[in-house]
Amino acid sequence: MYEDIVSDILVKEGIEYIISLPCDRTKILCEILEKQFHYITISREEDGIGILSGLSLTGKRGILQMQSSGLGNSLNALMTLPFLYSLPLPVLASWRGYYQEKIAAQIPFNEKIPDLLSLYGIPCTIIREPAEFNLISSVIRDAWKKNRPHVALISPAVWEGEEENRSCQEFPVRERLVTLSYRGVFKKPVMQRGDAISVLASMMTDELVVSNIGVPSKELYHVRDDPSHFYMLGSYTQASPLGLGIACGTNRKVVVLDGDGSLLGTAVLPVIGAESPENLVIVCLDNGVYGSTGNQCSPAYKTVDLELLAKASGISQTFKVHTSDELSLAYPQALVKGPSFIHVVIIPGNRNVSNIPLTPYEIKKRFVTEINPDF
C-alpha cells in the first residue's frame, strides 16, 4: 500500500514525531502514522510550526503533516521561526485545489502555492505519482542539511483507490468523568511584567527558557541574559508551541514566558494537556492588554480567566499569583512536575529597554549548544 511506503520512508529518514492536522485526502496515511510514530494532533497549522521548530532545536526529527491550505495559515510562522532562525522543518502537505478538487473554497489559495512558496524562498517539491515518493527523502534531507523549511506537495492522485482497499481506523474508549471545582479570584495587581520577569529570573537555574515576542524578550534579556534563553523576535502566538516542542525533545525543565494575548490567539493549551510533558511550565504574564503594540485591551482584561482555560485544557497543576511573594512560592512548585501553568496577573506597562543585540542565528546557535555542546 502506498501509505505504508511513505511510512517506511519516514522511518528510514529517522523521523520520530509526526505533527499533524489531518486532511481527508490522507486519512489512511494519518491512521498508519498515528500508530507508528509519536503523533501529535494540533488544531492550528501554525502551532505545528512552533512545535516542530522546538523539536528541531533539540535535534529531534519530526515532520509536519497537513493539507496545503494550512500553509496560508502558517506562512508568517514559517518565515519568522524556521526560516528566520535557520531551523530544519520538513512539511508533508496534501495539495488541495489542484487535482479533481470539488470544493470551490480550496482552489483560490491552493492553486498558487508553488508560486507563493517560490516568492518567499521556501523550497517546494511536487509529488504527482507514487513513483516519486522517494522525493520525500530528498525533502527531509534537504531540510536538515540546509537548516530550512522544505515543503513536499503531494497530489491527491497518488492515493486513488487506496481508500477502497483499506480502512483500519479504530477509536479508543471515550467515557470519562470530568470534575472541576474552581473559584478564580482576581486581586488588584501590583507588579508590572518587568517586575514579574525579574522575580522569575532571580530563581532560574538551568531551565531552558522561551520568551514571547516583543518587549517580554527584551525585558528578560536586560534582566538576565543566558545562552539557555530563546528570545522570540517574531511568530506571534508561537512561544508556547515552541516550548512544547522543546519539552518533548529534552528532559530538562522548559519554562515559557507567554502573554495573555498570545495564548488567546493559539490553540496549543489542549495539545499541551494531551501531551502532558512533565518538564514544561507555562508562565502567563497577563496584563490584560497587548503590551508590545500600545496596551490595547485583550479579552483577558475583564472577561477571560486564563487559569480556568488552562484547567479546561487538561493542565491540572495551575497557580494564580499577584505579588512577588506569591510568584516566588508558585515557581518552585511548578517546576517539580508539570505540565504547570502559572497565571500571573499584572499591571499594564513596559520597561524602557533597548532591542536585543543578538542575531537570530546567534540566539539559535548558543541555545542549541546549551542543549547539545557537540553542536
At 149, which amino acid appears? P
Rounded Cα distance, 32 and 62, in Å? 16
| 115 C-beta neighbours (distance < 10 Å), count | 9
Q: Do domains 2-161 and 193-371 have the same CATH topology?
A: yes
> Angle at which helices 2-12 and 135-146 pack, to 10 degrees?
30
Rounded Cα distance, 332 and 203, in Å? 8
What kind of fold does domain 193-371 have according to CATH? Rossmann fold (3.40.50)
Rounded Cα distance, 26 and 66, in Å? 9
Q: What is the pLDDT, as a whole number, of residue 100?
A: 84
Q: What is the pTM of this model?
A: 0.95
Burial class (CB in 10 A: 0-12, 13-18, 19+), 27: middle
Residue among 76, 55, 67 nearest 25 (CA)? 67
Rounded Cα distance, 30 and 25, in Å? 10
Determine the straight-line distance between the first and last CA of the chain, rounded to whole angstroms: 38
Q: What is the pLDDT, as a whole number, of residue 170?
A: 76
Q: What is the pLDDT, as a whole number, of residue 277?
A: 98
C-alpha distances (whole Å) from 201 to each of 82, 194, 218 are 27, 10, 13
Q: Are 9 and 135 in contact (CB under 8 A)?
A: no
Ordered by start, the domain boundaries in the chain are 2-161, 193-371
Q: What is the pLDDT, as a whole number, of residue 327?
A: 98
3 state DSSP class of 192 = strand
Rounded Cα distance, 224 and 336, in Å? 22
Per DSSP, 347 falls in state: B
- In the structure grid, which three cell numbers stand for residue 17, read together? 514525531
- In the structure grid, which three cell numbers stand for residue 357, read together? 543585540
What kind of fold does domain 2-161 have according to CATH? Rossmann fold (3.40.50)
E-strand ranges in 226-279 read: 229-231, 254-259
Q: E strand or H helix at 282, and its extent? A: strand 280-286
Q: Give the tens place of pLDDT for each residue, 184-197.
A: 999 999 999 999 99
Mark the ranges of the chain whose per-residue pLDDT is less than 50.
none
**179-199 as b/e: b if 16+ CB within 10 A:** eeeeeeeeeebebbbbbbbbb
